[in-house]
Structure 1
Amino acid sequence: MEAPRGIFFFAVLALLLRSSPNCFVAAAAATDSPAAAVLVRVDQSGKGDFRRIQDAVDAVPSNNSQPVFIWIKPGIYKEKVIVPADKPFITLSGSNAVSTVITWGEEWNSVDSPTVSILASDFVGRYLTIQNTFGEGAPAVALRVAGDRVAFYASRFIGFQDTLLDDAGRHYYSSCYIEGATDFICGNALSLFEKCRLHSVSRSGGAFTAQRRTSAEEETGYSFLQCKLTGVGAETAVLGRPWGAYSRVVFAFTYMSNAVRRGGWDDWNDPINRRTAYYGEYECSGPGSNVAGRVDWSRNLSSDEASRFVTKSWIDGQDWLRPPPGQFKNWRG
């Protein structure tokens, strides 16, 4: 289970750093193991290596080739964070998502508008809250993920419209909380969401997803496995609508509250999308999961049809998902 393991890991890390930080990092540095990560501490009080998260990211060299573990002490960090494409192998980690918050409040004006933008490959995010407080009225992205081989664990993404721009690349989200109203998971990545909670704050006309696959040849789409869908009202949101004509979304073994509209899916006012969108459900439960009332162009998947969507091989995860580092080396910036 991810959360208990994380709590234990950070409790031990905090104890070692608090009692004898120099001895800890020196001992870790003595092992030149490839699995050892460079430890960088962000602390608003000035007791770490940096006060701001972006400063810690900026200090990582371009074309980085070793794991860098940026440990963010609890606090509310009012800043925009960009992990650029030339800085792979970075982990941003809090100790607890509730106490480690990255926040901003800006509508979508440019690619620099999101609160956090992940453009690098081989990135990991853990135990973070990332939010955009702009509110209603326009797209306002909390998190944009456009790097390949990106994973988030036990984190929270909070906004209203387009909360999570799951833009491009292969991604994995485990035990995350995602909140919004309009198309609040959107983009054209190939992603697996496992044991996540999706919470709609829409009062009417909401949509959990807006996936943007534009052709049958594109290997993109969203799979939701063992997730939970909730909302603030009954029949207030559809499972998805096609941002791209070949939009592909599957929900499997997922609990759906009565927030899900009976029809399940929407064609975004274009009947042509019904011919090409791939929207499927498999063995879901809860009052919003009754497929008898679904639009006739969605799919009630067979076990064979669902099989490709319900394992990490959907995102080639067996090749790139990795455990947290077990050893650390001193930051020498």
Structure 2
Amino acid sequence: MGSVLKLYIQVAFAVKIVSCSITMVDNTTSKSPIDLSTAFLLRVDQSGQGDYKRIQEAIDAVPSNNSELFFIWIKPGIYREKVVVPVDKPFITLSGTEASDTVITWNDSGDIFESPTLTILATDFIARYLTIQNTHGNTGKAVALRVSGDKAAFYGCRITSYQDTLLDDAGRHYYSNCYIEGAVDFIFGNAASLYERCHLHSMAEESGAMMAQKRESPLENTAFIFLGGKITGVGSTFLGRAWGAYSRVVFALTYMSGVVKPEGWNDWGDSSKQRSVYYGEYKCSGPGANRSKRVTWSRSLTKDEAAPFLTKGMIGGRGWLRPSPTHFKKYQTS
């Protein structure tokens, strides 16, 4: 089997498409505007059979202020490195084939902006079928993923740590069919994010908190919205606690196991926040969805109240969520 045909088959499997085509293009002559059907292909393989051995090397090879899609295909393996997608490198996709066998891992703690295993600062980023983990343990803040760029999407990813797993910091973000695990504030920040059909797993043995949303003004169009999906875990956990005075979190059509504490929500020791936070639930199911003992300042949403949170409208998804490319071209640096 020729090398081009092998590449054709491998990439088609990686992006789960039926067909694609590959052409050779020299980057010195390619200055066309963005074509969402076509991407430059960079391959990362620890064995040396790809274009790069490390993920960061592939990201570094993307030209600054690029205006075309770059698809970085990561061959299965455990990649022990801290990875940053800088602000001047938009339109990058990092893709494995299965999250279970493509792992980006590091072991760091302390500052929430410095400890992440993977940091996204650029706009128009996509991650597919990756495990992103921080293995520091349960002795402090240890971020696995920081998302500070606008228009970022994650598909079929596993994101795991213990405290402060996912810093969903700023911008509009979309998470689809992701698994997110932690114990203390394991999704936190002030982004406008939709989590669709995601699995949240709490590791808190006694009293944890899943969300710490930091909306600080009623003028901020930010929130964490969980649509579908499920909550599992051990011990017990709050659905969320009020990091910001106007913290906003909504769970809709979500299965909640008995790990959810009956009161559901926590004001983080500041009762004044009870008047301004927005914590809503809509048609959730399971033993943890029983609202008979919920705090009185949380909301059982009506159909009309829930409607704005049941689509991708809040994150403007129709304007920036994009399909996988169907054509690939080799990127040549010289």
Fold shared by both chains (TM-score > 0.5): yes
Superposed, 1:162-311 pairs within 5 Å as: 162-233=164-235, 236-311=236-311
Superposed, 1:42-61 pairs within 5 Å as: 42-61=44-63
Q: 8 Å contact 1:155–1:177 — kept in the other structure?
A: yes
- Report the counterpart of residue 313 of structure 1 in structure 2: 313
Q: Which secondary structure does the structure 2 equivalent of 1:25 belong to?
A: strand
- Report the counterpart of residue 12 of structure 1 in structure 2: 9
* 1:288 to 1:117, Cα distance in 2 relative to 1, 3 A: same
1:13 to partner: Cα distance: 3.2
What amino acid sits opposite 1:167 in the alignment? D
State the alpha-carbon separation in 2 of the partners of residues 232 and 83 from structure 1.
34
1:25 to partner: Cα distance: 3.2
The higher relative CO (CA closer than 8 Å, separation ≥ 6) is in 2
What amino acid sits opposite 2:278 in the alignment? Y
RMSD: 2.0
Q: Which secondary structure does the structure 1 equivalent of 2:274 belong to?
A: helix
- Report the counterpart of residue 17 of structure 2 in structure 1: none
Superposed, 1:118-157 pairs within 5 Å as: 118-157=120-159
Q: 8 Å contact 1:106–1:134 — kept in the other structure?
A: yes
- Report the counterpart of residue 322 of structure 2 in structure 1: 322
Q: 8 Å contact 2:262–2:290 — kept in the other structure?
A: yes
* 1:39 to 1:11, Cα distance in 2 relative to 1, 3 A: closer
State the alpha-carbon separation in 2 of the partners of residues 306 and 24 from structure 1.
43
Measured against aligned partners, the alpha-carbon deviations of 1:148-192 in whole angstroms (never above 9, x if no partner) come to 000000000000001000000000000000000000000000000
Q: 8 Å contact 1:28–1:328 — kept in the other structure?
A: no
Q: 8 Å contact 1:108–1:114 — kept in the other structure?
A: no
1:132 to partner: Cα distance: 0.3
More helix by share: 1
What amino acid sits opposite 2:55 in the alignment? I
- Report the counterpart of residue 37 of structure 1 in structure 2: 39
- Report the counterpart of residue 119 of structure 2 in structure 1: 117
State the alpha-carbon separation in 1 of the partners of residues 269 and 23 from structure 2.
61
State the alpha-carbon separation in 1 of the partners of residues 12 and 60 from structure 2.
27
Q: Which secondary structure does the structure 1 equivalent of 2:287 belong to?
A: coil
Q: Which secondary structure does the structure 2 equivalent of 1:125 belong to?
A: strand
State the alpha-carbon separation in 1 of the partners of residues 201 and 194 from structure 2.
17
1:12 to partner: Cα distance: 3.4
What amino acid sits opposite 1:67 in the alignment? L
Q: 8 Å contact 2:24–2:330 — kept in the other structure?
A: no
Measured against aligned partners, the alpha-carbon deviations of 1:85-136 in whole angstroms (never above 9, x if no partner) come to 1100000000100000000010033623200000000000000000000011
Higher mean alpha-carbon deviation, 266-275 vs 105-114, is at: 105-114
Superposed, 1:80-95 pairs within 5 Å as: 80-95=82-97
State the alpha-carbon separation in 2 of the partners of residues 264 and 303 from structure 1.
21
Measured against aligned partners, the alpha-carbon deviations of 1:250-300 in whole angstroms (never above 9, x if no partner) come to 000000000000000001011011011100000000000011110000000
Measured against aligned partners, the alpha-carbon deviations of 1:175-217 in whole angstroms (never above 9, x if no partner) come to 0000000000000000000000000000011011000001111
Q: Which secondary structure does the structure 2 equivalent of 1:318 belong to?
A: helix
Write out the 4+ residue segments of structure 1 that deviate beyond 6 Å after TM superposition: none
* 1:85 to 1:184, Cα distance in 2 relative to 1, 3 A: same
Q: 8 Å contact 1:28–1:327 — kept in the other structure?
A: no
Q: Which secondary structure does the structure 2 equivalent of 1:239 belong to?
A: strand
State the alpha-carbon separation in 2 of the partners of residues 300 and 74 from structure 1.
44
State the alpha-carbon separation in 1 of the partners of residues 176 and 210 from structure 2.
17
Confirm or deny that 1:26 pairs with 2:28.
no
Q: Percent identity?
A: 59
Q: Which secondary structure does the structure 1 equivalent of 2:88 belong to?
A: coil
* 1:115 to 1:214, Cα distance in 2 relative to 1, 3 A: same
Q: Which secondary structure does the structure 2 equivalent of 1:157 belong to?
A: strand
What amino acid sits opposite 1:144 in the alignment? R
State the alpha-carbon separation in 1 of the partners of residues 127 and 8 from structure 2.
18
- Report the counterpart of residue 6 of structure 1 in structure 2: none
Q: Which secondary structure does the structure 1 equivalent of 2:275 belong to?
A: helix
Q: Which secondary structure does the structure 1 equivalent of 2:322 belong to?
A: coil
What amino acid sits opposite 1:62 in the alignment? S
1:27 to partner: Cα distance: 6.8
| TM-score, length of structure 2 as denominator length | 0.91
- Structure 2: which 5+ runs fail to align? 1-6, 15-19
What amino acid sits opposite 2:247 in the alignment? S
- Report the counterpart of residue 66 of structure 1 in structure 2: 68
The alignment of Structure 1 onto Structure 2 pairs a total of residues equal to: 316
Q: 8 Å contact 1:41–1:72 — kept in the other structure?
A: yes
State the alpha-carbon separation in 1 of the partners of residues 267 and 12 from structure 2.
53
1:28 to partner: Cα distance: 8.6
Q: 8 Å contact 2:172–2:193 — kept in the other structure?
A: yes
More strand by share: 2
What amino acid sits opposite 2:222 in the alignment? T
1:241 to partner: Cα distance: 0.2
